[in-house]
Chains A and B, each alone.
Chain A
Amino acid sequence: MAKHLVQTRLNGEPVEFLCDPHATLLDALRNTLQRTGAKEGCASGDCGACSVLLDGRLVCACLVLAAEVEGCEVTSVEGVAQAAQLHPIQQKLLEHAALQCGVCTPGIVVAAKALLDRNPDPSEREVRYWLAGNLCRCTGYDKIIRAILDAAAELRG
């Protein structure tokens, strides 16, 4: 089958890869580019474990074709920390023990970052609504929400 050539930027670095024309961005990230941070929870847009930023916008990588990201800027969870320095959202998730199995965590980190980049001082309600598309089977959400509010406070300084 004819493969499709895609040139894009991933976490600030130019990348080039071949894909099946109907493969998803999630497949390309995980299987071709070996960036396994984004997880496949449902492959139908329901769980948010595959959340990435596409040109700064929060999307489900399972609902984007790899071929669509030609010339775009993709940010996955691997691009959130600065070298060995965790992002405050990541640090606070750890401090609040806001993860158990961790499958939802990469998606939560990316989604929370998208929120705080737009709205540095969200209310608890705004955080809960923003994360409606990120399911967690383990934590009961409360610790996640506290961690994000705490990270927002720290980022505001």
Chain B
Amino acid sequence: MRRVGRLLTGLMDSPARGYEAPDSVEQAVALLSAHGPAARPLAGGSDLLVQLRAGLQKPAVIVDLKRIPELSAVVLDDEVLRIGAARSSAALREEPSYRALFPGLLEACELIGSEQIQGRASIGGNLCNASPAADTVPALLVNEARCEIAGPEGRRFVPATEFCTGPGSTVLGLGELLVALHISRPAARSADAFLRFTPRSEMDIAVVSAAARVQLGEDGRCLDARLALGAVGPTAFIAEQAGDALRGVSPDDAALERVAALAREAAAPIDDKRGSIAYRRQVAGVLAKRALRVALARAAERTRG
């Protein structure tokens, strides 16, 4: 009896494992809905396979999204750049016009891990994994990306600012997956930038990160500014007041100092091995200022171009 019992528990511990590679969003949604929490979507696997190996995730069924054309494609039209959620960072980087439009977002993509990791890592996976330190997320936030989600009820859009709800959690419901990120082309005289601080220059996780997007007026004043901070809260977030402080003013050193102070205030970091609370706050202010400077210089350049 005991032995049978043990055998049964053993079987329940390791349910039959499966791998599915659907070629349409509808099939993927059907698979995810049918298996419920036992299924896990797979994009590049650079988070998922590490978690699998560490025993943090034990999905019965892995649903590979990379064979779905919509999830691997990137389409740029007159208004919007639509990035398939599973497109690898390396594949995204190959098209120079995306960098010309969104240098900050592409910088964030290039900072993910190594060449090997970028060969697989997708922006969609980076967002869905919902790490507070995920590099592309602040850049998505300042660019007002919209997340296209497919599920049993059809499609819906959620602003990137609302997508991550806490470390490792998102708004995705049962059977839902992220299909693509939509980002409007930058307005005239506007540009983005992304910076992160890590002890090592490569292969490290952000202690703090900052993304900025600014729009300059014809008179050189700042029409609009958005600042996002990463790794200093449960999710990356827009530091509203810091951005607002630049709106309508001339972006001189004094104005940037005020923004840095507001960024330090907005930061709500934790103490861990990568940095203390005080240190992270300080660095948040420094990075906010620097990211804004880079974005301002780029926007000015575009004014001349």
Q: List chain A residues, Cβ under 8 A from B14.
A: 1
- Among B54, B119, B201, max chain A CB count under 10 A is at B119
Q: List chain A residues, Cβ under 8 A from B16.
A: 1-2
Q: List chain B residues, Cβ under 8 A from A116.
A: none
Q: List chain A residues, Cβ under 8 A from B116.
A: 45, 48, 51, 58-60, 63, 111, 133
Query: Is A75 interfacial (CB 8 A cutoff)?
Result: no
Contact of A133 among B42, B49, B115 (CB under 8 A): B115
By beta carbon, the residue of chain A nearest B204 is A132
A51 vs B203: C-alpha distance when bound (angstroms): 16
Output the least CB separation between A45 and chain B (Å). Answer: 6
By beta carbon, the residue of chain B nearest A67 is B19
Q: List chain A residues, Cβ under 8 A from B66.
A: 68
Are B114 and A133 closer than 8 Å at their CB atoms? yes
- Among B45, B54, B201, max chain A CB count under 10 A is at B45
Are A133 and B113 closer than 8 Å at their CB atoms? yes
Contact of A22 among B44, B62, B119 (CB under 8 A): B62
Contact of A21 among B18, B46, B115, B120 (CB under 8 A): B18
A114 vs B14: C-alpha distance when bound (angstroms): 38
Which residues of B from 77 to 116 have beta carbons under 8 Å from A? 88, 90-91, 113-116
Q: List chain B residues, Cβ under 8 A from A43.
A: 53
A133 vs B46: C-alpha distance when bound (angstroms): 13
Are A132 and B114 closer than 8 Å at their CB atoms? yes
A70 vs B117: C-alpha distance when bound (angstroms): 20
- Among A43, A45, A130, max chain B CB count under 10 A is at A45
By beta carbon, the residue of chain B nearest A43 is B53
Q: List chain B residues, Cβ under 8 A from A64.
A: 45, 49, 120
Are A1 and B42 closer than 8 Å at their CB atoms? no
Are A22 and B17 closer than 8 Å at their CB atoms? yes
- Among A22, A70, A130, max chain B CB count under 10 A is at A22
Total A residues in contact with B, Cβ cutoff 8 Å:
33
- What string of 1s and 0s marks CB contacts (under 8 Å) between A54-68 and chain B? 100111101111011
Known: A65-B42, A132-B203. Contact between A22 and B52, CB under 8 A?
Answer: yes
By beta carbon, the residue of chain B nearest A115 is B115
A21 vs B59: C-alpha distance when bound (angstroms): 11
Known: A44-B50, A63-B49, A65-B49. Contact between A111 and B115, CB under 8 A?
Answer: yes
Q: List chain B residues, Cβ under 8 A from A68.
A: 19, 21, 42, 45, 64, 66
Are B17 and A20 closer than 8 Å at their CB atoms? yes
Query: Is A30 interfacial (CB 8 A cutoff)?
Result: no
Q: List chain B residues, Cβ under 8 A from A59.
A: 116, 119-120
A53 vs B178: C-alpha distance when bound (angstroms): 27
Q: List chain A residues, Cβ under 8 A from B17.
A: 1, 20-22
A54 vs B66: C-alpha distance when bound (angstroms): 13
By beta carbon, the residue of chain B nearest A19 is B19
A21 vs B115: C-alpha distance when bound (angstroms): 26
Which residues of A from 97 to 123 have beta carbons under 8 Å from B? 111, 114-115
Query: Is B202 interfacial (CB 8 A cutoff)?
Result: yes
A88 vs B45: C-alpha distance when bound (angstroms): 33
Query: Is A8 interfacial (CB 8 A cutoff)?
Result: no
Contact of A63 among B45, B62, B64, B202 (CB under 8 A): B45
Q: List chain B residues, Cβ under 8 A from A20.
A: 17
Q: List chain A residues, Cβ under 8 A from B45.
A: 63-65, 68
Q: List chain B residues, Cβ under 8 A from A129.
A: 202
On A, residues with C-beta under 8 Å from B are: 1-2, 4, 20-22, 24, 43-46, 48, 51, 54, 57-60, 62-65, 67-68, 70, 111, 114-115, 129-130, 132-134
A-B contacts, 11 of them at CB < 8 A, read: A1-B17, A2-B16, A22-B62, A43-B53, A44-B53, A46-B203, A48-B116, A57-B119, A59-B120, A63-B45, A132-B201
In addition to A1-B16, A60-B120, 19 A-B residue pairs with Cβ atoms within 8 Å of each other are: A1-B17, A44-B53, A45-B113, A48-B114, A48-B116, A51-B116, A57-B88, A57-B119, A58-B115, A59-B120, A64-B45, A64-B49, A65-B42, A65-B62, A67-B21, A115-B115, A130-B115, A133-B203, A134-B114
